Structure 1
């Protein structure tokens, strides 16, 4: 692997900002502001614009080995051996916190790493954590700012009316991509592989990353899928039962960019071929036995925790249009929720600041 030709993150042509992107991003901000206001009118409380449903919050340790080859000893995080406390959340992608688990949809995972040292973006300098977010699909259908503006608006317009939604989708050349988000296999969350979907700087190079369930029991649980006869909150029950009796372990893997045509940075809807550009393990996440559905943790996360891929190391800079959307939309969404809920975000400095009771 060390002899492969990896694209450097600052090479010409890595990022190409399309005309009108700033206007499209502002339109997404306005859509989310409207969504938050509507949710507040209905519920008297506003959740995140995406991933509103929490299935569990756990604490663990992110372990970086000291024997990585040179091309993987990138950024302050992976340059040397280290262990970092982590708090993690399992979620579902839709903004409704009451959405039925039996409805197929992407599932999410987020990590906040503590004790990370190095040059941080301005967003995270007051509370130096590395935020890492994942989705259970390897590609992002909201491939850029323009697509995000159009598809989010359509989904909000039609709500649960898939017939009307798909009629509008069918007028688009990317119809099947967007329909596929409603046909995702619903597996046990402990067996669900998670992906960055978008590209990131990886020190000198460019990567996508993935979190792979690695224990034998987790891999076996992949056979367990949500059925129509299950309860509407089956995923949190499965997850809680697993964590009460088992340790979880994941491999954190990276896939490096070698060809900008095959591995575009600005089109998050294109999967990078894993046979041509293989995944490599650079760390592992270990989660000891615990109660994953602690109501104190759940409420604290939902009311106060901010996860933002721009909250972290400069050497892990988010790349591409979808991440430029996040850099504007996430703070705007957080500000609107703060205004409506009258709850301040809490920027943790250590994992001990995250309450258990």
Structure 2
């Protein structure tokens, strides 16, 4: 459920009791987690070496836009970078999650979305940064739900990934079978109509929350019924649809947060459970607007894949990633990026302002955006 802008709805949400991010029980580090995390880092690096240049999510499109933070948010939503209204330039990437760059779009799989938000004030984990990284996935629950699960599932994928019947036999012996098999049955639809989720929990100023990105443009909503048909469409149909859409239409998304109120019902350490949106509604804090543009600029695509890294630990301390999957990311993401750059002979560039990004520039302005 999404909360409307009606005063009564906002007042009701403001009066609810939200978990403070430092409350007891928000994070509980299990025994041997550090060993599990290191094992995952070793697994990922081994996969990278065995599958040279095939372990980075496939780019479906990259666009530039503006994140507009509402200036009339209620007090409980005026948290972290959303404390004050304003506009921030962003660069965004649509992707398919599996690392094979030749993956057929007709095969249902989770889809990703990532944003690098510029000119964000506040204390960062890396003090040299002025950008905030935010990443999403089209599935609300994360199958790699904690470090132990991640180690077990990646081990199965390494050993049985090319033998799906055998892999499924192993997955069906697990208590989380449905969670692990869900990725192969996701609704395969137009990326512009796909809702995106953080999956994991984050500090949200004083509180704990998950976030999501909701397509809100009327044209985007209509595209929800446009699903991929394997017998009719080409292997790169999602990229084609995305390029055709951005060439002809502006896009708009709502950035929403879902605050934590009950740690048993809304676990932070285990990301395999969806927080019930009927009991814990989504609340809008900002709007992402993307003007018409070429969503498949080859110079920008190469720059992103060769030099950039999106990492939720590159950003504000008041948006600290929480829970086991995020502690894992803090180790695995930079290790994976470092090895990939080394194998590809590329240097990571710490992008902290839009001027470092190649491709068409965008004229900022509250009247809306226009491509120069």
Structure 2: distance between partners of 1:107 and 1:20: 31
Q: Over aligned residue pairs, what C-alpha RMSD do you find?
A: 1.0
* Counterpart residue number, 1:39: 51
Q: Does 1:101 align with 2:105?
A: yes
Q: State the distance in 1 between where 2:321 and 2:291 align.
A: 30
1:231 shift after superposition: 0.5
Unaligned runs of 5+ in 2: 1-12, 361-372
Query: 1:174 Cα shift?
Result: 0.9
Please state how far the C-alpha of 1:134 moved relative to its aligned partner.
0.1
Picking from 36, 39, 54, the partner of 1:24 is 36
TM-score for the superposition, normalised by structure 1? 0.96
**SS of the residue aligned with 2:14?**
coil
2:339 is equivalent to residue 336 of structure 1:
yes
Alignment of 1:93-242 (within 5 A): 93-122=97-126, 125-228=127-230, 229-242=232-245
Residues 169-193 of structure 1: CA distance to partner in whole angstroms, max 9, x if unpaired?
1121111210111111101000000
In 1, the alpha carbon distance for the partners of 2:333 and 2:314 equals 11
Hey, what's the Cα distance between the residues in 1 that align with 2:162 and 2:241?
A: 26
2:79 alignment partner in structure 1: 74
Secondary structure of 1:301's partner?
helix
Q: What secondary structure sits across from 1:109 in the alignment?
A: strand
Tell me the number of residue pairs that the alignment of Structure 1 and Structure 2 aligns.
347
Distance in 2 separating the partners of 1:186 and 1:156: 25
Aligned partners of 1:216 and 1:291: how far apart in 2? 20
- Structure 1 alignment gaps of length 5 or more: 41-45
Give the equivalent residue in structure 1 for 2:358: 355
Question: What is the rounded CA distance, in whole Å, between the counterparts of 1:155 and 1:263 in structure 2?
Answer: 28
SS in 2 for 1:331: helix
In 1, the alpha carbon distance for the partners of 2:351 and 2:338 equals 18
Superposed CA offset, 1:254-307 (max 9, x none) = 000000010010110000010110000000100000000111111111111110
C-alpha displacement of 1:50: 4.8
Structure 1 position 161, deviation (Å)? 2.2
Query: TM-score, normalising length from structure 2?
Result: 0.92
Q: Distance in 1 between matches of 2:56 and 2:195?
A: 19
Q: Which residue of 1 aligns with 2:87?
A: 83
Structure 1, 339-348 or 53-62: larger mean CA deviation: 339-348
